Structure 1
Amino acid sequence: MDWQKNLLLAAMGAVLIMLVMRWDDFQQNQVPADLPAATTADSSALSTEVPSAAATDVPTTGEPGQTNPAVSGKVIRVFTNTLELSIDTRGGDIVHAALPKHFAHIDTPDEPFVLISNNANHTYTAQSGLIGKNGTDSAEGRAVFTSTADAYTLEEGADTLVVDLTLEQDSATLTKRFTFFRNEYRVKVGYLVDNRGEEPWQATLYGQIKRDSHKPDADVGIGMQPFVGAALTTEDERYKKFSFDDLEDKNFKTQIQGGWVSMVQHYFISAWIPDQSKQNQFFLKQQGNQDLFLMGFTSEALSVAPASQGEISAEFYAGPKDTGELEKIAPYLDLTVDYGWLWWLAKPLFSLLDYIYGLIGNWGLAIIALTIIIKALFFKLSATSYRSMARMRKLAPKMKEIKERHGDDRQKMSQETMKLYRDEKVNPLGGCLPMLIQMPVFLALYWVLMESVELRHTPFLWIPDLSVKDPIFVLPLLMGFTMWLTMRLNPEPPDPMQAKIMQFMPVVFTVMFLWFPAGLVLYWVTNNTLSFLQQMYITRQIEKADAKT
């Protein structure tokens, strides 16, 4: 059984390494809190790198151009029931986005969560414009639009809000139109072109997200960390993601009909979604040698005949990773709710969890109910495992005796052990294989609970927020206790060293789970409790049957 001992030692070492790594991540992520939205001058300076082209070229790689630092605009504020935006009239970029329905911290409900912001510590902006023959952005600089107001608010009873920025060219009037929707996080960003000239007007729409590599502290505990970086869909892969390290090594570009490009982090994303009926080119790249990255697209060129009007548009999304909403916006955009390689199993699990929540109306109770349903589905498989372990426990004295007699002769001890298994009709792997079969389901559920923005700032009993750790550590202690109870029903390993390691495991996992989100720990406590009750029931059944014989 040396392989079991080595496996346990490796697991213990991995846990300790994860503890150290988690502490290191915690230290690195302690950056100063976001400052207020940038001033006009700040937002201009931080949003100058945009695709550029020669007078008649349409770029395909998103190469940045130099702009005129003397040109600057003002910030327009926009308020809806789901978004609070700041739009810089220089270029018409979104330089600040806050989400009033998702507050920053559990104890500051008056402060909305800030997704997009530019300040001394962080660069994150959504840029868009026109490039090419009659584009608004070029190597010489970016256009400054005008607006009729400094602030716009979605009125009560209105379903949409339109914000127009205008620009007069030599022979055309351009209107950059932002359309906002009640209860939605998507924004339609379009250009209306009135060509009064005698020549065709032509330009290409681009949109890009510009961001540094700062990774917000996800506070998900030790283990698998949420992805932070760029993601898009391609012809070959529905969901293809790139870390910032990937982009430092190599740029990426592709072309696809429709498509989207996004910046993904825990619970939230921003994404550009161009016209789904057009062929669009997408690019991901590092900005020079700076800690800045561009994730964007260029669309097909728009041509407007003389004395005619034309329009080109895209959509921008800045909000939570809501599976239902993202599915409606673009194909495969919902895959940014990143369940890892088990997404095919995790998606139906989330659908079931969401359905249960719709019936119960409480996420904590929904997690408990979902765990019970999963345990019920695997009841017979678990029973097989527990029966095998109960029989192995019965053999513990005989196995100890074999070790005492043949401890110095490993080959003889192994032969006698296998003979004992055959005589007693016990499969030593019978307790492991059924559990291994269930592991993909439990791992998928782990990701579901970790990625579900619905749990963020959701209270349950004494816990104010199921997405972060239990503030008084009751659930981790219960998890450790139920794990200890369950392990007492398992056969004791014949190796004393292995037995000591097993005794120490509940302590190690209790410490590890202190930082896990409470929703995940609630699942483990429920699962452990049900496992203990089922295993205890089966063990007593076997003991009673043996007493009668």
Structure 2
Amino acid sequence: MAVIKMDWQKNLLIAAILATLLMLVIRWHEYQEQLPTQTPVATQTTTNTGSIPAATAINSDIPVAANSLSEAEKTTLAANQLINVKTDSFDLVINPLGGDIVQLALPRHFLKLDTPDQPFVLLDNRDNHTYLAQSGLIGTNGTDTAQGRPLFSSEKNEYILADGEKQLVVDLVLQQGEVKITKRYTFTRGDYLINVEYLIDNKSANPWSAQLYGQIKRDSQNFVKVSALEMNPFLGAAITTAEEKYKKITFADMAEKEEKVGVQGGWVAMVQHYFISAWIPDADSQNTYHLRKLGDNDLYLMGFTGKVNEVAPGTQASISAGFYAGPKDTERLEQISPYLDLTVDYGWLWWVAKPLFFVLKWIHGLVGNWGLAIIGLTLIVKALFFKLSATSYKSMAKMRKLAPKMAELKERLGDDRQKFSQEMMKMYKTEKVNPFGGCLPLLIQMPVFLALYYVLMESVELRHSPFFGWIFDLSVKDPYFVLPVIYGITMYFMQKLNPQPTDPMQARIMQMLPLIFTFMFLWFPAGLVLYWVTNNTLSIIQQYIITKQIDAEPAAK
């Protein structure tokens, strides 16, 4: 009677744990549904006065621009003269007040798979969201002062990269006394790197001097929805320094204190899942990077200030920086600046993850399908660890073969744990079984499996990539939960091939694990579940063959 009561209590405890887990996931999804969602890019109507870097003092002897207007007049005029730019890579809006990029959408990346007419919006400046790229000139003859931003003029309000053209140039002009300043945006077909250049034509009798700055202004809103059981992708800033090649800085870090560092070359980026924006100044100059919270508002600045540039009377000069806004393309980011590719955040296992991604991409080049590439990569990883896996499976098969003897021994010795342990060790020695032989090979393989998880989570190539049949997007959950169910079935069969725990409570928990993991994997990206299904299937085949071989061996005498 006491045994029945104890079993009832144990089962109730297990049921309570599962019910709690279910409630946590349901509550998390309710919370995720309340997160703000992106909307298609629309006509910009808000202002973008921004904040000028405080690193450099403003000289009061700045020449007055010919288009001197009040700030209210500038804002009103700029709102009616927004500049729209369309290329194969961008659909963006430039505000002539400051010449900032205030909206930027990516036509080759959809907001959702089923809305190809709505591009993914990266930069936006709506009433409920702020994310824009600002740049300007500060210093002795700077155009951006504590009194306001310059109002540029352009030949037209719409620029389109025509078919057959490799580049599109958009010029914004400002007349500063006898100095003509042209802020030039250069867009290249097929590329997400924008060249931002200031052309200085000094026709005055005095030297001209200023510093280039670029900054990203953003609030801390997160538009990425993940389940409670997935890793939440990093959202925040990142820079490279002499001490740290890739330094992540959260919004909380910036709110606590300003980050300020001088770096030769370098870059500053705003990092989110699959996409980044980044300022990349001149690699040969000394730049000062500043990351800070802007007042009491939910606004943050991540930017750089370059060196002082001198332009002699009667001469011309150019000051430029790159601005990247697009997907985390590892190869392209490597080309743009050292360590910028680390924004594809594989964590501390990047040294394992990068080769895995290289192989994954190579396989995709052969088969043309990312799902097949995942299966191919899993085959290669299993082949590399074939002998280690075989060692582990042999150990587990021997343990499984001893299970009846272990159960008999436990029944005979009852609650005498010390005697049971002694007899068990004797049995292991006689049968030449290492009880830890199945653990070490698995531990050695674990970094590879974890690195592969990061690769599949971080690879923008998998976003909106189909597999076959009902799976149209490997980066989101299986819509019909077929793969998670298959995973649970394969896990169940793997358990049947493993030695069963002698403790009844442990045995019940192990029996419930396939259900628990199936439930967890319901919200995992289909690409990740595909990997685990493939891995489990291969493991079952290998383990089944080895178990049959061990079972056929005569018992040790």
Scaled by the length of structure 2, the TM-score of the pair is 0.91
- Secondary structure of 1:344's aligned partner: helix
Alignment of 1:331-370 (within 5 A): 331-370=338-377
- Please state how far the C-alpha of 1:220 moved relative to its aligned partner: 6.7
- Please state how far the C-alpha of 1:120 moved relative to its aligned partner: 2.1
Alignment-derived partner of residue 51 in structure 2: 49
Contact 2:270/2:276 (<8 A) preserved: yes
- Secondary structure of 1:527's aligned partner: helix
Alignment of 1:51-450 (within 5 A): 51-52=53-54, 53-56=56-59, 68-72=71-75, 73=78, 74-219=81-226, 222-450=229-457
Q: Assess, with a 3 A threshold, how the Cα gap between structure 1 residues 35 and 445 changes in structure 2: closer, same or farther.
A: closer
Contact 1:50/1:127 (<8 A) preserved: no
Alignment-derived partner of residue 9 in structure 2: none
- Secondary structure of 1:109's aligned partner: coil
Mapped to 2, the partners of 1:149 and 1:108 lie a distance apart of 30
Mapped to 1, the partners of 2:23 and 2:521 lie a distance apart of 10
State the aligned residue count: 529
Per-residue Cα deviation, 1:18-38 (whole angstroms, up to 9, x for no partner): 983685266246334334546
Amino acid at match of 1:289: D
Mapped to 2, the partners of 1:76 and 1:15 lie a distance apart of 55
- Please state how far the C-alpha of 1:542 moved relative to its aligned partner: 1.1
Alignment-derived partner of residue 30 in structure 1: 34
Contact 1:29/1:215 (<8 A) preserved: no
- Secondary structure of 2:129's aligned partner: coil
Per-residue Cα deviation, 1:163-192 (whole angstroms, up to 9, x for no partner): 000001122110000000000001000100
Return 392-401 or 177-186, whichever deviates more: 392-401
Contact 1:19/1:222 (<8 A) preserved: no
- Please state how far the C-alpha of 1:14 moved relative to its aligned partner: 11
Q: Assess, with a 3 A threshold, how the Cα gap between structure 1 residues 257 and 13 changes in structure 2: closer, same or farther.
A: farther
Alignment-derived partner of residue 483 in structure 1: 491
In structure 1, runs of 5+ residues without a counterpart are: 1-8, 58-66
Per-residue Cα deviation, 1:471-528 (whole angstroms, up to 9, x for no partner): 0111000011101110110000011111111000110100100000000000000000
Contact 1:458/1:464 (<8 A) preserved: yes
- Please state how far the C-alpha of 1:358 moved relative to its aligned partner: 0.6
Mapped to 2, the partners of 1:372 and 1:36 lie a distance apart of 41
Q: 4+ residue stretches of structure 1 with deviation over 6 A?
A: 12-19
Contact 2:40/2:120 (<8 A) preserved: no
Mapped to 2, the partners of 1:473 and 1:250 lie a distance apart of 45
Per-residue Cα deviation, 1:438-484 (whole angstroms, up to 9, x for no partner): 00001101111111111111111120100000001110000111011
Mapped to 2, the partners of 1:13 and 1:301 lie a distance apart of 63
Amino acid at match of 1:55: I
Are 1:503 and 2:507 matched, yes or no?
Answer: no
Alignment-derived partner of residue 64 in structure 1: none
Contact 1:47/1:127 (<8 A) preserved: no
- Please state how far the C-alpha of 1:349 moved relative to its aligned partner: 0.3
- Please state how far the C-alpha of 1:404 moved relative to its aligned partner: 2.2
Contact 1:91/1:142 (<8 A) preserved: yes
- Secondary structure of 1:136's aligned partner: coil
Amino acid at match of 1:415: Q
Per-residue Cα deviation, 1:178-232 (whole angstroms, up to 9, x for no partner): 0000000010001001111121101100000011111122447723221111011
- Please state how far the C-alpha of 1:409 moved relative to its aligned partner: 2.4
Are 1:521 and 2:523 matched, yes or no?
Answer: no
- Secondary structure of 2:111's aligned partner: strand
Contact 2:36/2:223 (<8 A) preserved: no
Q: Assess, with a 3 A threshold, how the Cα gap between structure 1 residues 165 and 476 changes in structure 2: closer, same or farther.
A: same
Contact 1:221/1:512 (<8 A) preserved: no
Return 14-23 or 281-290, whichever deviates more: 14-23
Amino acid at match of 1:105: K
Mapped to 2, the partners of 1:69 and 1:405 lie a distance apart of 92
- Please state how far the C-alpha of 1:395 moved relative to its aligned partner: 1.3
- Secondary structure of 1:477's aligned partner: helix
Contact 1:38/1:118 (<8 A) preserved: no
Q: Assess, with a 3 A threshold, how the Cα gap between structure 1 residues 451 and 182 changes in structure 2: closer, same or farther.
A: same
Q: Assess, with a 3 A threshold, how the Cα gap between structure 1 residues 55 and 221 changes in structure 2: closer, same or farther.
A: closer
- Secondary structure of 1:525's aligned partner: helix
- Cα-Cα RMSD: 2.2
- Secondary structure of 1:118's aligned partner: strand
Return 290-299 or 27-36, whichever deviates more: 27-36
Mapped to 2, the partners of 1:498 and 1:109 lie a distance apart of 50
Q: Assess, with a 3 A threshold, how the Cα gap between structure 1 residues 248 and 405 changes in structure 2: closer, same or farther.
A: farther
- Secondary structure of 2:118's aligned partner: strand
Per-residue Cα deviation, 1:409-454 (whole angstroms, up to 9, x for no partner): 2222222222221221111111111111100001101111111111
Alignment-derived partner of residue 67 in structure 2: none
Mapped to 2, the partners of 1:419 and 1:70 lie a distance apart of 91
Mapped to 2, the partners of 1:522 and 1:100 lie a distance apart of 29
Q: Assess, with a 3 A threshold, how the Cα gap between structure 1 residues 479 and 16 changes in structure 2: closer, same or farther.
A: farther
- Please state how far the C-alpha of 1:48 moved relative to its aligned partner: 2.2
Per-residue Cα deviation, 1:21-64 (whole angstroms, up to 9, x for no partner): 6852662463343345465541x1x442232543349xxxxxxx
Q: Assess, with a 3 A threshold, how the Cα gap between structure 1 residues 506 and 15 changes in structure 2: closer, same or farther.
A: farther
Amino acid at match of 1:375: K
Q: Assess, with a 3 A threshold, how the Cα gap between structure 1 residues 71 and 391 changes in structure 2: closer, same or farther.
A: same
Q: Assess, with a 3 A threshold, how the Cα gap between structure 1 residues 15 and 415 changes in structure 2: closer, same or farther.
A: farther
In structure 2, runs of 5+ residues without a counterpart are: 1-12, 61-69
Contact 1:221/1:513 (<8 A) preserved: no
Contact 2:208/2:313 (<8 A) preserved: yes
Contact 1:218/1:226 (<8 A) preserved: no
Per-residue Cα deviation, 1:320-343 (whole angstroms, up to 9, x for no partner): 001111111111111100001100
Contact 1:29/1:217 (<8 A) preserved: no
- Please state how far the C-alpha of 1:302 moved relative to its aligned partner: 0.9
Percent identical residues? 59
Mapped to 2, the partners of 1:278 and 1:365 lie a distance apart of 45
